[in-house]
Amino acid sequence: MCVSNDRAHAFILKSTIHFPGLHANAGDLDGSWRAWRVALQVKERRSQKAMYPVDFPDVDETDLTLASEQYVSSLGSRLGGNEWFTLSQTSKVEVTANNVRLLQLFEDEQSNCAVVALHPPDDPTQVVALNLREQWWCVDDLLRTSNKSRSGLVLVQSIMERMIVFMLSQVIERSSQEEMMFSLHPSTESCKLLWTENQAVGFYTVKHKGSLCDSWSSYCYLLPVLDTVLVRRSWRRRGFGLRMLEDFCSSFSTEEFLGVSSPLSSSMVEGQLRSCYILLYPPTKWI
């Protein structure tokens, strides 16, 4: 006899499980069985791993931008109760047309990829959440993953991974009224994210030898260049910057010379490059 998995499980459980205090009445047994199944389903749902934006199937640039534009345009014509985003147990932000805006992810003129950002009414420079997949995600969750295989330095490939690079370079490490540390990256920028403890803690980008320096001239890079490097403030002084430098060098071990974009931050010169890396690798290799 062939039965479905659920029916097979039901047959086995009804035949072998003893429910204390119950008579061998079929109706009582069925009722207890249904209650047990409901409790089990609740337990299973609670034990399921949380999913974060980077863990879902990737989205297309066009679809992401279209959904973002439609959401923003719908705010002015909404009827009914107000929408709120909860920041903490004691703080929440109302979602209105006045504190929602579109953020462009890339510098490319040919790419208009944008996401919907929510900011506090009194500080339009700060981002507290992004709207992705028809729901709001707080900044911390945007940098998290439930995928255990995301560990160490991982090549950026998906739009959601590039969105994380955007958040790290443009939003996370920027305090109120502070200028942005980086310009927007191109949508095809060669980049690696550094993952540890299921969250993105840094990244670095590379300009490859032979790639164009800009979109208005024919100049090309004559050597691989370490263009931007960032480690989140709360994760610094743990060797992550040195780890990314080592990865960059090992990725181009056959090259005679390597380059670093300027200007360099004082912490980069004094900490990683001068005291650590220049001593480990021949100075003539760096330009």
Ranges of the chain with pLDDT below 50: 1-24, 42, 44-47, 275, 279
Question: Does one domain contain both 138 and 166?
Answer: yes
Question: Does one domain contain both 35 and 96?
Answer: no
Distance (Å) of CA 91 to CA 87, 121, 201: 5, 13, 26
pLDDT for the residue 37: 62
In a domain, 58, yes or no: yes
pLDDT for the residue 106: 93
- Exposure string of 11-37, with b = 16+ CB inside 10 Å and e = fewer, is eeeeeeeeeeeeeeeeeebeeeeeeee
Instruction: Provide the number of structural domains found in the chain.
Output: 2
pLDDT for the residue 256: 87
pLDDT for the residue 139: 94
In a domain, 46, yes or no: no
pLDDT for the residue 278: 53
CA distance 148 to 145: 8
pLDDT for the residue 279: 45
Question: Does one domain contain both 79 and 178?
Answer: yes
pLDDT for the residue 244: 93
Structure tokens given for 32: 């207890």
Structure tokens given for 209: 């030898």
Question: Does one domain contain both 16 and 158?
Answer: no
Question: Does one domain contain both 98 and 193?
Answer: yes
Question: Does one domain contain both 96 and 176?
Answer: yes
Q: Which of 231, 260, 238 is nearest to 248 (CA)?
A: 260
pLDDT for the residue 29: 54
Q: Which of 281, 273, 259, 267 is nearest to 233 (CA)?
A: 267
Bridge-based pairing of strands 225-231 and 259-260 is parallel
In a domain, 45, yes or no: no
Contacts of 198 (CB under 8 A, 6+ apart): 144, 145, 146, 148, 150
Distance (Å) of CA 118 to CA 42, 89, 114, 122, 191: 32, 18, 13, 12, 26
| Number of other CB atoms surrounding residue 273 within 10 Å | 20
Question: Does one domain contain both 109 and 139?
Answer: yes
Question: Does one domain contain both 87 and 128?
Answer: yes
Percent of residues in the chain assigned helix, strand, coil, to nearest 5: 35, 20, 40
Question: Does one domain contain both 33 and 64?
Answer: no
Question: Does one domain contain both 16 and 109?
Answer: no
pLDDT for the residue 101: 93
In a domain, 48, yes or no: no
Question: Does one domain contain both 71 and 206?
Answer: yes
In a domain, 47, yes or no: no
**Chain Cα centroid distance, residue 199:** 8
Which residue range is the domain that position 245 belongs to?
53-285
Residue pair 280/245 in contact (Cβ under 8 Å)? The answer is no
pLDDT for the residue 51: 92
Residue pair 194/243 in contact (Cβ under 8 Å)? The answer is yes
Q: At what angle do helices 26-47 and 5-16 cross, to 10 degrees?
A: 120
Question: Does one domain contain both 207 and 126?
Answer: yes
Q: Is 152 helix (H, G, I), strand (E, B) or coil?
A: strand
| Number of other CB atoms surrounding residue 82 within 10 Å | 8
In a domain, 241, yes or no: yes
CATH number at residue 151: 3.40.630.30
88 pairs with which residues across the strands? 91
pLDDT for the residue 19: 37
Q: Residue written as tokens 């760096």?
A: 286
pLDDT for the residue 67: 95
